[in-house]
Amino acid sequence: MMEWQSAQFPREVDLLVIGAGAGGMAAALAASLQGLDVLICEKDAQVGGTTATSAGTLWIPGNRQSREAGFSDSADAARRYMDGLLADPELGRELREVYLAQGPDIIDWFKQRSEVRFRPSGKHPDYQDRDGAAVSGRALAPEPFDGRLLGPAFKDVRPPIPEFMVFSGMMVGKDDIPRLVNRFASPANFLHAARLFLRFVVDRLCYPRGTRLMMGNALVGRLYYSLLQRRVPVLLRTQLKSLIVEEGQVAGALLSRAGQTRSIRARRGVVLATGGFSRSTPLRDVFMRAPVPPDSMAAPGNQGEGVTAAMQIGAQVSGPTHGTGAFWAPVSRTGSGQWAGLFPHLVLDRAKPGLIAVNAAGRRFVNEADSYHHFVEAMFDSDRTVPTIPAWLVCEASFVRRWGLGAIHPGTRDLAAHRRAGCFVVEASLEALAGAARVDTQGLKATVARHNGFAQTGIDEDFGKGRSELNRFNGDPAHKPNPCIGHIGDGPYCAMAVWPADIACSSGLETDVHARVLDKQGEPIAGLYACGNDLASIMRGTYPGPGTTLGPALVFGYLAAQHAAGRTRAA
């Protein structure tokens, strides 16, 4: 980390990058690898932003890693799939074509020159069953990273949310969970669990948390380590105030730290990667579809400084017609602290057999096993006629013991400690549960009875739960006849309230294929680039599959650096 001292504070660099999330660090690393003098300025005290708390997955159709693992895919198939998601397939096509054409090569480019490396996720279905959709081969996961390689700089990496760690500091991956829960089921499971715990105990002798980094934390660790290896300075606690424009070109920025404001000139330009405006109420009200939910899973520092600074010099921002302005996930409320106690219900519970989601009428309104984004879109649609914010996830206590629910871990038997201000209720009867959750009693009883009929036939006649590849992937393959539909029996019963929360902006700065920010006439603003969630989603508000935000973040971070360096293609 670089301190703010006049003796070492650079007055001029080739490329100034504002923000140290995945997009900003990728842009800075690519620029450094192409010979530019680079500086990163990050508002927060740690690097990583929202990426650090994410799954870290990249959606890269046609990637080499999956192809070498035996999974087939093509850009043509991905193009058909994305076109089918859009009302107007021509909207943003040029950026998507560049993404499809260059994405796989750019991922390989980083691997060949840095520690930024990915492995195929294998089976990881796209989020909708359409022409061109893939069951396997498009999702890449960052390789786990040993945080000890960072030495003292390990403290600079933003940790995951507390609910994503066990023992108050140990990260586990999705594949670790069943082996930890069933640690006494086999010698292999026990040894795996014992190795993880021993590593964590040793880590805590020297570090504030476990150093076995997984998912988004691994991606952040790899990017940061690669930057440190190249001695790229990262100035923390440094906020963008405004852009410097000279003769129609962005020539640098005014930055603030500890009450002081200084300017840095940038010979090749400025890259905006401040994480979007998820934590800015005024910008949410303008660029997200009403009614705008108050909750966000984005990093607390994502106040929209990049978007605001660009708007001040005439940049074009996509409006609320850009999908719903954000990508969404249902969240339950638990805990406290800077993350406001939000737990995202992504893949671990909603698709498992024996759970339904209901609105205030006690009625189902969605295929519970669909993607988190589409689940929340259904919440919005239902709420127009029946109160559905919050919605309630309803199941038996036996379901929670087996699968967990939100932040309640599998294996939990004593649920009394988890009852929180009406957000999670446990009752002996459906009547009592409906009263505690303030949903219609007769509606809930009728819904459970109808759902139990579906459990017998294996066919969800209302919403088709268990029909899609994604549904079945996240369900229980051992449960028959439908991996996502299970009988809800005699109780006791549980209900957990969930609210919509954005996980990233889809509205943002409009750019060209080189990640150059466009003005209101559609012309590039010289010297100004955007990537990550400052850049308007190239998916135009649709959510094709896992890694919809991080894939473009790395690709367009690279493309910004490539253009600033005067290159025309990955080499």
State yes or no: pLDDT of 5 exceeds 50.
Answer: no
* Closest by CA position to 360, among listed 431, 429, 428, 443: 443
Helix, strand, or coil here: 176? Answer: helix
Q: Give mean pLDDT, residues 375-385.
A: 96
Share of the chain above pLDDT 90, in %: 79
- What digits encode the pLDDT tens for the residues 53-110? 999 999 999 999 999 999 999 999 999 999 999 988 998 999 999 999 999 999 999 9
Count the Cβ atoms, other than its own, within 10 Å of residue 158. Answer: 22
Distance, C-alpha 425 to centroid of its chain: 28
- What digits encode the pLDDT tens for the residues 485-504? 999 999 899 999 999 999 99
State yes or no: pLDDT of 164 exceeds 50.
Answer: yes
**pLDDT of res. 562:** 97
Q: Which of 180-194, 213-227, 462-476 has the lowest mean pLDDT?
A: 180-194
d(CA 469, CA 130): 11
**pLDDT of res. 200:** 77
Confidence label for 8 from pLDDT (cuts 50, 70 and 90)? low
**pLDDT of res. 4:** 45
Q: Which residues contact 247 (CB under 8 A, 6 or more apart)?
A: none
State yes or no: pLDDT of 7 exceeds 50.
Answer: no
Domain architecture of the chain: domains with CATH: 12-143+216-276+506-564 (3.50.50.60), 145-213 (no CATH), 327-502 (3.90.700.10)
**pLDDT of res. 104:** 97
Q: Which of 127-141, 183-197, 304-318, 497-511 has the lowest mean pLDDT?
A: 183-197
Q: Which residues contact 172 (CB under 8 A, 6 or more apart)?
A: 165, 166, 180, 196, 214
Tally the C-alpha atoms within 13 A of residue 100's C-alpha that lie toward its C-beta. 18
Kind and range of the H or E run holding 212 = strand 212-213
d(CA 425, CA 436): 7
**pLDDT of res. 389:** 96
State yes or no: pLDDT of 9 exceeds 50.
Answer: yes
State yes or no: pLDDT of 475 exceeds 70.
Answer: yes
SS (H, E, C) 290-321: CCCCCEECCCCCCCCHHHHHHHHCCECECCCC
Tell me how many helices (H) and strands (E) the chain has: 15, 22
* Closest by CA position to 326, among listed 291, 351, 357: 291
d(CA 314, CA 112): 38
- β-sheet bridge partners, residue 227: none
State yes or no: pLDDT of 525 exceeds 90.
Answer: yes
Q: What angle do CA 230, 234, 238 make, to 5 degrees?
A: 170
215-229 and 22-33 helices, crossing angle to 10°: 30
Confidence label for 522 from pLDDT (cuts 50, 70 and 90)? very high
Q: What is the CA radius of gyration of the chain?
A: 24
Q: Which of 353-362, 408-417, 532-541, 557-566 has the lowest mean pLDDT?
A: 408-417
State yes or no: pLDDT of 137 exceeds 60.
Answer: yes
State yes or no: pLDDT of 569 exceeds 60.
Answer: no
Which amino acid, residue 34? Q
Q: What angle do CA 303, 304, 309 make, to 5 degrees?
A: 135
Q: Give mean pLDDT, residues 505-530.
A: 97
Kind and range of the H or E run holding 110 = helix 93-113
Residue holding tokens 């096993």? Answer: 369
Q: Which residues contact 406 (CB under 8 A, 6 or more apart)?
A: 332, 334, 343, 345, 349, 393, 424, 496, 498
**pLDDT of res. 289:** 81
**pLDDT of res. 196:** 78
Instruction: Select, from the ranges 8-17, 412-421, 551-560, the one with the highest average predicted confidence (pLDDT).
Output: 551-560
**pLDDT of res. 172:** 75
**pLDDT of res. 338:** 43
- What digits encode the pLDDT tens for the residues 117-135? 999 999 999 999 999 999 9
- β-sheet bridge partners, residue 264: 253
* Residue predicted with more confidence, 11 or 47: 47
State yes or no: pLDDT of 183 exceeds 80.
Answer: no
Q: Give mean pLDDT, residues 532-544.
A: 94
State yes or no: pLDDT of 191 exceeds 90.
Answer: no
* Closest by CA position to 179, among listed 197, 202, 199, 161: 197
* Residue predicted with more confidence, 216 or 176: 216
Residue holding tokens 């449960």? Answer: 479
State yes or no: pLDDT of 35 exceeds 90.
Answer: yes
Confidence label for 308 from pLDDT (cuts 50, 70 and 90)? very high
Helix, strand, or coil here: 567? Answer: coil
- What digits encode the pLDDT tens for the residues 411-453? 888 888 787 767 899 999 999 999 999 999 999 999 999 999 9
Helix residue ranges, H only, 242-396: 281-287, 305-312, 372-383
Q: What angle do CA 124, 127, 129 make, to 5 degrees?
A: 100
Q: Give mean pLDDT, residues 186-209.
A: 81
- What digits encode the pLDDT tens for the residues 309-363? 999 999 999 875 556 789 999 999 875 444 448 899 999 999 999 999 999 999 9
Averaged pLDDT of the chain: 92
* Closest by CA position to 530, among listed 498, 505, 494: 505
* Closest by CA position to 460, among listed 366, 334, 527, 386: 366
* Residue predicted with more confidence, 148 or 168: 148
